[in-house]
Structure 1
Amino acid sequence: RETDSRDRQPPTAARHRWADETVQQARETRDRPVSTVVGTDPEAVAAAVERTAGARDPTGVVLGEDASSLAAVVETAPANTTVRLLPGRYDATLGVSKPLTLTGAGPETVLDGGGNGSVLTVRSPDVAVTDLRIEGVGDATTGQNAADDGSAWDERIRLAYGYGDAGVRLRGANRSLVENVTIHTPANGIVALDSDDTVVRAVDVRGTNGTAGFMGVLPMYSRMVVEESRFEGGRDAVYTHYADGTVVRDNHVQDLRYGVHEMYTSDTLVANNTVRDTEAGIVLMTRPTANALVGNDVRDSGVGIETAGTAAYTVDNTLVDNEVGLSIGASRSVYRANTIVDNHVGVRSKTLLSTNDVSENDVVGNDRPVSAGAGTLATWAVEGRGNYWGTVPGLDRDGDGVVDRAYRPTNGVDRTAATSPVSHALSRSPAARALRTFQATAPGLRGSGVLDPSPLAEPVHPDRIDTRNETAAATTSP
């Protein structure tokens, strides 16, 4: 399909800018004056109060002496201030209903919910939770009917996904921040309902082994930023439900079912994430549109990236050692400059009509370069540039970087020509040439599959291609 795809590029730069601005605004809550210093050791509390005295003299609270519980301290702390928790273990199931910053001293500050329900529930905008560890999350992964207060049509979805136990639960908590928090959970890590412009960054969510447990971060009806975090174990690292515009970037994901799982979610940016050992690295489902998947690296998984819906922008990703590298299920979409190497199936095409721009991808070293379902013949080239397939029949006689022979990766002869002398000879036989010429003049006689009319003579990203699979120096054969 020869077309200009520039008008199909979503505003990825604008989405990064929005995320940058949202992060900057949310992180301003870290600078609130300290109103309360909390600990269990009187001497440590007194020393901390002395160190933080200044523009506002903080109150020192020794749990067990000055207050009976951390919940009581949070309840009485002034709005728009910081409650600082010294190192120690705090038995706490907290609710925050005012703009407040709750900050610890790092992993040495532990909030322990005792295994009963969500540990920290936030029902106010502009709340920050930073620099602490959360344990003792309840193991309920679904909600009770009495917990739901939304519309009836998606009640089942909300209860099944949005109302289970969590380390941090946000509801109506716009512009909130969860940063530098470690969460050990048998259920959810962080759930955000109706909490736009919320930021989750530099968190470490550890779920149960394998794919039990639930979601690391779950934005539901919430546009938010999830960045620079680590997720290991559990079901999905990031699961979105009607979270249009969400940005998920620079995260590390390992040993889950799905890395990023988007449901009913459009206009997102999923960028520069590293994903390992999943059933699927990045999955788009349920009729999304205009999602951008850029610069992600997915390996050792069932499916690297799977798209659906329309107007997906899948560019510059690295997909290596997966069962399926890239699964194309979105129409009217752009797939460009991806490195798809050493997968069982490089690209799986599931669309019925040829409406996608597929060009300048490196598809090499896969057991099968392309698997195509029933449908019309898809032509993968844009403005005279197709994809790099490694050694293919033909030569670049005029030195324009394009092999002077079309390549059909779904054709058994073309597909094996690089490794089979018989196929190589057959691909250059007079009969094969005559058949190609006849099909070119009578397109109706072409079978379904994929045709690259302008295969590239050199890889787009030679530095990404593992030398054990392909030697970039030898790219074509006569």
Structure 2
Amino acid sequence: MGILILPSTAAEIQVKDPLSLQLKIQQAHSYDTLVLHPAVFQGQFIIDKPLIIIGKPGAEIDALGYGSAITIASSDVKLRSLKIVNWGADQYELNAAILINDGINNVLIENNELWGPSFGIRADNGDFLSIKNNVITGSSQGHILDRGDGIYLKRVDNAVIQFNEIKHVRDGIYLESGKYSLVSDNYFVNQQYGLHYMYTAHDEAFNNYAEDVDGGFALMSSEKIKLHHNRVQSAQRFGVLLNMTNHSEVSANRVNKIVNSHAKVAGSEGRGMFIYGARDNAVFDNNFSNSEVGIYMAMGGEGNKIYRNQFINNQAQVKYVGDSLVEWSYERQGNYWSRFIGWDLTGNGISEQAYQPSDQLDRLYWLYPEAQFLLKSPVAQLLRWTQHQFKIMPESGVIDSFPMMSPPQVDRL
């Protein structure tokens, strides 16, 4: 984002009368600063020129339950330290606390507090949008999919979204058809997905934390994303989703306790990571722990590099019901499996014994869940023991030819 150089004639305008805000905006010159004093400014306001608007403690904008509280219709606008409440709930009309019109560039939204339904911040067809240090709170009432997103950007390039706290919304951050975004140090709680990419490219996300969500980080129909050093805790459906996403890196993320308390049928378990139809990605140095399934892979997810990950105390470390034999190691580096017992005769930290995290009996039970009650029967235990004794190379499933004897060291930011 370019540096905004203010002209020497820019003025600072004090706004004390709550009925005068729109008039003050109209009367201001480009690049003036409007300072809102403690008061409730009611209505919907349009910024149609480059301005800086700053709120003092106690300044509040109340949209009275309809429309967008602030519409930005000019590039080079900055909004700081505002409290915005009670905007409209009509998502089809793009009601938002802050609505940024088509084709607007160089906008900074910083240190604001947004409370209301529908979108917190909505922008389309822009460039160089910066959203930092905001608290965005939606509605905890009604179905989660009927809420607006905390931050919704469509065809916005070079967005920077950092240090925001977002809760009680549909998706915390939803990015569609843009590129070169940077998303870091955000906190997501009580929503569908924390961060949701759709048709995006060349994005990076790190140091974000999602908890008590349906899903942590969803990468869908996108490419060349770097998702690293994020955390997901206590999600229902997944920690990380790779759906039809290619040429991306998922690394050094920590995913813990993905348990679907609402699951009623086999196949709806909580998944540390779900890979569906995604190829040519690298998944490494992640920690998947204490979940119903460590990684669930299906429908064309075989063509990825998966190595140096830690699978710790998941009910099923891996679930894959495809017909291929899939190797989960890269350059003689496999993964660490908490249930694996092998041997390392050379002392290089890699077992000479390959590991298959899920055997043929597991796959049989996935295909025919009604046979689950046989899982711990003596016959099943005998078949499993026989299979391991003869060490027959599996014809399908996941195999790690170079399992690690101890968890790998992962660099932290």
TM-score by length of 2: 0.86
In the alignment, is the contact (CA less than 8 A) between 1:338 and 1:360 conserved in 2? Answer: yes
Shift in CA distance, 111/220, structure 1 to aligned 2, threshold 3 Å? same
The match for 1:235 is 170
Shift in CA distance, 432/354, structure 1 to aligned 2, threshold 3 Å? same
Which AA in structure 2 matches 1:165? N
Which AA in structure 1 matches 2:149? M
The match for 2:24 is 73
C-alpha distance in structure 2 between counterparts of 1:364 and 1:242, whole Å: 36
Is 1:115 the counterpart of 2:65 in the alignment? yes
The match for 2:209 is 274
> How far off is 1:412 after superposition?
6.1
SS at the partner of 1:197? strand
TM-score by length of 1: 0.74
In the alignment, is the contact (CA less than 8 A) between 1:235 and 1:257 conserved in 2? Answer: yes
| Corresponding residue to 2:272 among 325, 331, 345 | 325
| Corresponding residue to 2:156 among 214, 222, 236 | 222
Is 1:180 the counterpart of 2:118 in the alignment? no
Q: How does 1:378-417 map to 2 (within 5 A)?
A: 378-411=326-359
In the alignment, is the contact (CA less than 8 A) between 2:10 and 2:30 conserved in 1? Answer: no
C-alpha distance in structure 1 between counterparts of 2:10 and 2:185, whole Å: 30
What residue ranges of structure 2 are gaps of 5+ in the alignment? Answer: 259-269, 364-375
Which AA in structure 1 matches 2:317? P
In the alignment, is the contact (CA less than 8 A) between 1:331 and 1:351 conserved in 2? Answer: no
Q: How does 1:191-270 map to 2 (within 5 A)?
A: 191-209=122-140, 211=144, 212-223=146-157, 224-270=159-205
> How far off is 1:311 after superposition?
0.9
C-alpha distance in structure 2 between counterparts of 1:264 and 1:104, whole Å: 36
Q: For each residue in 1:165-207, what CA deviation from the matched residue of structure 2 results, as whole angstroms up to 9, or x when unmatched? A: 0000112220100000111121000001122101001011000
The match for 1:38 is 15
Number of aligned residue pairs: give it.
378
C-alpha distance in structure 1 between counterparts of 2:95 and 2:203, whole Å: 26
Which AA in structure 1 matches 2:212? D
Which AA in structure 2 matches 1:129? L
C-alpha distance in structure 2 between counterparts of 1:356 and 1:140, whole Å: 41
The match for 1:476 is none
Which AA in structure 2 matches 1:328? I
* Structure possessing the higher radius of gyration over alpha carbons: 1
C-alpha distance in structure 1 between counterparts of 2:176 and 2:361, whole Å: 44
Q: For each residue in 1:202-246, what CA deviation from the matched residue of structure 2 results, as whole angstroms up to 9, or x when unmatched? A: 011000116242110011110211110000001111111212222
C-alpha distance in structure 1 between counterparts of 2:352 and 2:385, whole Å: 13
C-alpha distance in structure 2 between counterparts of 1:335 and 1:255, whole Å: 27
What residue ranges of structure 1 are gaps of 5+ in the alignment? Answer: 1-21, 41-62, 144-163, 440-445, 465-478
In the alignment, is the contact (CA less than 8 A) between 1:375 and 1:449 conserved in 2? Answer: yes
Shift in CA distance, 97/456, structure 1 to aligned 2, threshold 3 Å? same
The match for 1:161 is none
The match for 2:313 is 365
C-alpha distance in structure 1 between counterparts of 2:404 and 2:249, whole Å: 21
In the alignment, is the contact (CA less than 8 A) between 1:264 and 1:288 conserved in 2? Answer: yes
Q: For each residue in 1:240-286, what CA deviation from the matched residue of structure 2 results, as whole angstroms up to 9, or x when unmatched? A: 1212222211100000011111111121112111001111111122x
Percent identity over the alignment is: 25
The match for 2:86 is 136
Give 1 or 2: higher helix fraction: 1
SS at the partner of 2:337? coil
C-alpha distance in structure 2 between counterparts of 1:261 and 1:448, whole Å: 32
Is 1:103 the counterpart of 2:54 in the alignment? yes
